[in-house]
Structure 1
Amino acid sequence: MNAIELAIFANRINNVCEEMGAVLRRAAFSPNIKDRLDYSCALFDQQGRIIAQAAHIPVHLGSMAFAMRDLVEAVQWQAGDMVVVNDPYLGGTHLPDVTLIAPVFSGSQLQGFVANRAHHVNIGATSPGSMPISSRLEDEGIVIAPSLLVRKGTLDQRLLSQLSDDRPVARGDFLAQLSANGVGAQRFEQLVSELSEVGFNDAVAGLHNYGNRLAQAELAKLPSGQYQFSDCMDDDGQGNTDVALQVCLTISEQGILADFTGTADQVAGNINCPLSVAAAAVFYCFRCLLPSYTPACAGVFDVIKLAAPEGCLVNAQRPAAVAAGNVETSMRLVDLVLGALAQALPEAIPAAAQGTMNNIAMGADGDQPWDYYETIAGGTGGHAQAAGLHCVQSHMTNTLNTPIESLESHFPVRIRRYQQRLASGGQGLHPGGDGLIREFEFLAPAQVTLLTERRRHQPWGLAGGGPGRCGENTLNGEPFGAKQQLSVQAGDRIAVATPGGGGWGTRE
């Protein structure tokens, strides 16, 4: 297969992922999927190595790229099967992210897999929105080991009812995921049929080889050496503060090693994460250094290795709670790796972005139960070429905001303020981007959980630039903690003021 044919092949399989995402979005019931786009789609080869992904959510896709191989080896696949899983210690991220995987056969020969991962706002946790202030994995909801949701083309209605708790919205989201994989598998089969099994496998091998060569060539331009950086998480929600993060990047002719030795042990709270989530953050940082035409295949990531002591914060062991590890610690790991890379590439790396997803989950039980979850945007860091961006989702999340009209039409909530948080970005030659303020007024009693970071430690600047402002959470104007679960009454207001990004450089 020549270079032009390989480029066409790469675009065709990427388009399969894009079509899967379009089906999932349009068929989903929940605002979290259809409006916020909290989902991801990807294709994998026979060994479970990623070969294509849409431009969806980095923390989903990087973790799947890291862990899918072990997951697919544990199942005896048959045509028409579809497996559901959310176990963070078996290839998942956190329990709300539910993954559906379908094999693709050509005759009796397994050719690869299609998969999608979507965030479910109710996965059976102890609090509405399934993002609790937890200390055990079991408190965070139903733990789904790899299970056949579809066996030889027949849907297990009993399992679907258990997973969705017979809630129409949840059931609809699961059916949307099934449909997305169905479309992906059809397109995959068509491509194999067109190219032949041998031709398709040759194309996949060529893609991995090309991606590996390209990554090696580009990363070889990085200055060799060891680069260390330290940071810390604000707290774990269970009384532990200033939880240490440490990385040492070794760049050599052999490739990249990200060693997290020195990072704190796993903690009582839920900011722990499995190694697959740490891998997603590392892969993301180095992928940002590669050309835009780099294929999204496993060959690209073969040059990057991870080391982390078992039982540390970023290689947590069962039954550690992980709900915030996927959303908060992953963001801070990006800061950590970029902080180390800034020593090697001072003109190419931006200052810290907001360093949090500002998670807010809410809902109520009763005659008309409801659940809602969202992440809230903030500022990105300034860099050598320009100022940071205002009020955007960054790094490990690639979701949209929920439109106010959608939120208010679905739930007993009113948005009182949604505005730029002026002067929250760090000062500098190229200032950091501003965060925002989003204020919720509750029209009925509800339970609310916030999982946030950068409320105590500011996003750092670079090259003499100033730090971004810390975020702040308030209830009726009174500040409260970064990680908090509380009851609200009709008329209460919660405002989330998100951090700005760090500034870059000093003004003349």
Structure 2
Amino acid sequence: MFNPINLEIFNNLFSTICEEMGVVLCKSSFSTNIKERKDFSCALFDSRGEMVAQAEHLPVHLASMSMSVKEAITALEMSDGDAVILNDPFQGGTHLPDITLVTPFFYKGRKKPVFYVANRAHHSDVGGMVPGSMCNATEIYQEGIRIPPVKIVMGNVINSEIMNIITSNVRTPEEREWDIIAQISANRVGKQRLRELCEKYGKNEAVKYSSELQDYSARIMKSVIKGIPDGEYSFSDYLDDDGVAEKPVRIKVCIKIKGNSVSVDFSGSSRQVGGSVNAVYAVTVSCVFYVFRCLVDGDIPSNSGCMRSISITAPEGSVVNARVPSAVSGGNVETSQRIVDVVFGALSKAICGNIPAASSGTMNNIAIGGYDALKGNHFTYYETIAGGMGARPDSDGINAIHTHMTNTLNTPVEAIEHNYPFRIRQYKIRPASGGMGRYKGGHGIIRDYEFFQAATVSILSDRRIHAPYGLMGGKNGQVGQNILISKNRKRKLPSKTTINVDKGDIISIHTPGGGGFGRKKNLKVS
């Protein structure tokens, strides 16, 4: 039997380790994307690679990271002082810019690891056909360097040969190297805290409560699922296009609830497409994990136990479970948002009083790169732009906020203007973009980039044609727009594009608003 007080103590101990890892990674990184936007995640895993605890970082990283840890365990025999690096989306990763570091924790000379610590960070360039590595490629080989599980650290010494291979294939090698070193350092802190924990409480107690926490979360999730009426609930929604063919990409789900178990079936979704919006299985799992975790009324440990009662069917070769050599950079950031939308949409037919209207449904990715003539070096910049949150059953949505599978910050204007040859000309809430209803959807954002010199700009966005849906009679949110202003002439850009801009050009991103909830009550005229 376990002690519930000790369970809560270990829950906080484990999660605090992950949070401290995140602080170290943030403080020691070089890139604005990691340091300012906090585009990273940290988590702790048991000896099987099952997630025990996570920090409050990015949903799209966290549930999928367990697959990377398991791939590392399967591929390599790790010793104390080793660390494994990988980013291959077809070996547990999400897309190539997300680089994962996995480090085993051994205790007192034991031959097998007791735990693993891991972190995942989005690097602003990993090579490929355009600066920023976030473009509408047609195969993964165009998206950047693909790293299978390999040892970046051996016996506490960085493997310079592997590091050189990575940095020789990117546009900003120094930044990449030091961001990877920051990731290594974060895991070392995680190992040290685990050692202190085991010395204080005992290794057996730590292992025991890592298992008990997963069991506890599994029981809570079962009770949540049991509260949903039995039945089958289906929903479909669309990505505007894949960036190659001008036709919508369908995401369909059928959720079957039976007692305290659920099956989530994506059969009927589009086959994998020519553009980069293909999602790998790890991304789809993360989306389902996130949605069902949101249904829990209260705070429970987010770990692998949450998924024990949930089965997922994602047909191989579909846009939600793509095969090699599909391009996948947009699948992690755009298709993930639509997967969330359809799973929430299906659940709204069963428990509408618990489900919000659709949020902006896109991460509005922008990558900028080129040669900075003033500083005499190449630069790459990446960020996602927030939008409107969908209205909730009992309150309005929130304006200008990252939602669902992203949880990053904006890059401060001061950081941009200090580091890059462009500036933010305008940054404001986009008026009247949220859907109307009894409760209104949150408004999106207008963010304008003015360039001081020529550069290459890639945009991966969506919800420019298919609007975020309202629920229970609420109106849809407004679709987004991408606009190029060049020599006082405006030109509408596609949702997914790469263009070259000149000095004085402005790229204006107008992000979607959230959907409304409920019919607006008529006001009585006295």
- TMscore range, shorter length: over 0.9
Question: Are 1:226 and 2:232 matched, yes or no?
Answer: yes
2:92 is matched with: 91
Query: What is the correspondence of 1:419-438 to structure 2 with a 5 Å cutoff?
Result: 419-438=428-447
Question: Are 1:115 and 2:128 matched, yes or no?
Answer: no
The separation in 1 between residues aligned to 2:223 and 2:437, in whole angstroms, is 34
Question: Are 1:145 and 2:154 matched, yes or no?
Answer: no
1:507 is matched with: 520
Question: Are 1:302 and 2:308 matched, yes or no?
Answer: yes
> Is contact 2:152–2:159 with CA below 8 Å preserved after alignment?
yes
> Is contact 1:378–1:434 with CA below 8 Å preserved after alignment?
yes
CA apart distance, 1:224: 1.1
> Is contact 1:327–1:357 with CA below 8 Å preserved after alignment?
yes
| 2:519 partner amino acid | T
Aligned-residue CA RMSD (Å): 1.2
The separation in 1 between residues aligned to 2:23 and 2:298, in whole angstroms, is 22
SS in 1 for 2:41: strand
1:267 is matched with: 273
C-alpha deviations, 1:251-283, integer Å up to 9, x for none? 112511110000010001000011110111111
> Is contact 1:434–1:501 with CA below 8 Å preserved after alignment?
yes
Selected match of 1:415 from 396, 411, 424: 424
SS in 2 for 1:470: coil
CA apart distance, 1:164: 2.6
2:199 is matched with: 193
1:76 is matched with: 77
| 2:412 partner amino acid | P
2:14 is matched with: 13
CA apart distance, 1:293: 2.4
CA apart distance, 1:70: 4.1
> Is contact 2:280–2:320 with CA below 8 Å preserved after alignment?
yes
Q: Which range is displaced more, 88-97 or 154-163?
A: 154-163
2:29 is matched with: 28
CA apart distance, 1:414: 1.1
| 1:90 partner amino acid | Q
The separation in 2 between residues aligned to 1:225 and 1:70, in whole angstroms, is 35
TM-score, normalised with respect to structure 2: 0.95
TM-score, normalised with respect to structure 1: 0.98
| 2:509 partner amino acid | V
The separation in 1 between residues aligned to 2:260 and 2:90, in whole angstroms, is 29
1:388 is matched with: 397
SS in 2 for 1:326: helix
CA apart distance, 1:440: 0.4
Give the unaligned 5+ runs of structure 1.
none
The separation in 2 between residues aligned to 1:443 and 1:372, in whole angstroms, is 15
| 2:431 partner amino acid | L
SS in 2 for 1:344: coil
Query: What is the correspondence of 1:148-159 to structure 2 with a 5 Å cutoff?
Result: 148-159=151-162
Percent of pairs identical after alignment? Answer: 44
Question: Are 1:319 and 2:325 matched, yes or no?
Answer: yes
2:40 is matched with: 39
The separation in 2 between residues aligned to 1:242 and 1:229, in whole angstroms, is 16
Query: What is the correspondence of 1:436-455 to structure 2 with a 5 Å cutoff?
Result: 436-455=445-464
2:481 is matched with: 472
Aligned pair in 2 of structure 1 residues 142, 425: CA closer, same or farther (>3 Å)?
A: same
> Is contact 1:93–1:277 with CA below 8 Å preserved after alignment?
yes
SS in 1 for 2:114: strand
Give the unaligned 5+ runs of structure 2.
522-526
> Is contact 1:82–1:148 with CA below 8 Å preserved after alignment?
yes
The separation in 2 between residues aligned to 1:49 and 1:278, in whole angstroms, is 17
The separation in 2 between residues aligned to 1:370 and 1:70, in whole angstroms, is 32
> Is contact 2:253–2:267 with CA below 8 Å preserved after alignment?
yes
CA apart distance, 1:66: 4.8
The separation in 1 between residues aligned to 2:32 and 2:462, in whole angstroms, is 24
Moved over 6 A (4+): none
| 1:497 partner amino acid | H
The separation in 2 between residues aligned to 1:284 and 1:216, in whole angstroms, is 15
> Is contact 2:222–2:260 with CA below 8 Å preserved after alignment?
no
CA apart distance, 1:193: 2.5
CA apart distance, 1:304: 1.2
The separation in 1 between residues aligned to 2:164 and 2:67, in whole angstroms, is 30
> Is contact 1:63–1:91 with CA below 8 Å preserved after alignment?
yes
Q: Which range is displaced more, 233-242 or 172-181?
A: 233-242
CA apart distance, 1:162: 2.3
| 1:78 partner amino acid | S
The separation in 1 between residues aligned to 2:430 and 2:192, in whole angstroms, is 47
